[in-house]
Amino acid sequence: MSLGELLSSLRNLQTQLFSVSVQNLFENQDAETRKRFVAFRQEVSLLVGKLTNAELDHIAHELDLLSSDLKAGIQNLDQSLNELQSALSILNFLGNVLGLVSRVAILV
């Protein structure tokens, strides 16, 4: 049985334990029976909670391993964009210089 299947079964069990019919049934039991039932129900909830956390934590860990490469990708893309902006600045500068040179050439 996989972790996913185990979790699914435990969640179904938890849903049944907290269902209205089960709750109503135990409301009519003596204090000791109610206490034992609640202790069992809490154990199931804790188990479901901890297993869910383990499943999510595993995925989070795997994703964290990819973070540095994603950051490198962001840097690479930003650099390409910066180069385009630099090229634009240089072309604007070149345009201004050529404008001045052509005016000087006309005067000479």
Partner 1 sequence: MGRPPWAAVAFCILIIMLAGSSCAPTEPYINLAEAGVTYAQAMDKLLDACIDISVNATSERMLQNKLLATPTLADYNAQTQVDRDRIIILRRLQSHARLMGEYFQALNDLAASKAPSQIADSIGSIVDPLNALGQELRGSDLLKNKGAVATGTQLVVGSIIRGRLRRELEQRKDTIDGELQLQAELLKALAGAMDADLKQISEIQEQRLVIKPLIDSRAISNPDQWVAARHRFLTTPQVSQELNGASEAVSRLRLAFEESVAGSLNRDRVKGLLADFGSILEFAESLKR
Residues engaged in binding partner 1 (CB under 8 A): 4, 7-8, 11, 14-15, 18-20, 23, 26-27, 31, 34-35, 37-38, 41-42, 45-46, 48-50, 52-53, 55-57, 59-60, 62-64, 66-67, 69-71, 73-92, 94-95, 98-99, 101-102, 105-106
Contact present, 33 and 9 (Cβ < 8 Å): no
Least separation in angstroms between residue 50's CB and partner 1 is 6
The CA distances from residue 44 to 9, 20, 40, 54, 104, in Å, are 11, 17, 6, 15, 88
End-to-end CA distance of the chain: 90
Least separation in angstroms between residue 87's CB and partner 1 is 4
Q: In the complex with partner 1, which residue's Cβ is closer, 1 or 105?
A: 105
Least separation in angstroms between residue 1's CB and partner 1 is 15
Sign of the alpha-carbon dihedral angle for 29, 30, 32, 35: positive
Joined together, the tokens standing for residue 15 give: 């849903």
Q: How far apart are CA 45 and CA 53, in angstroms?
A: 12
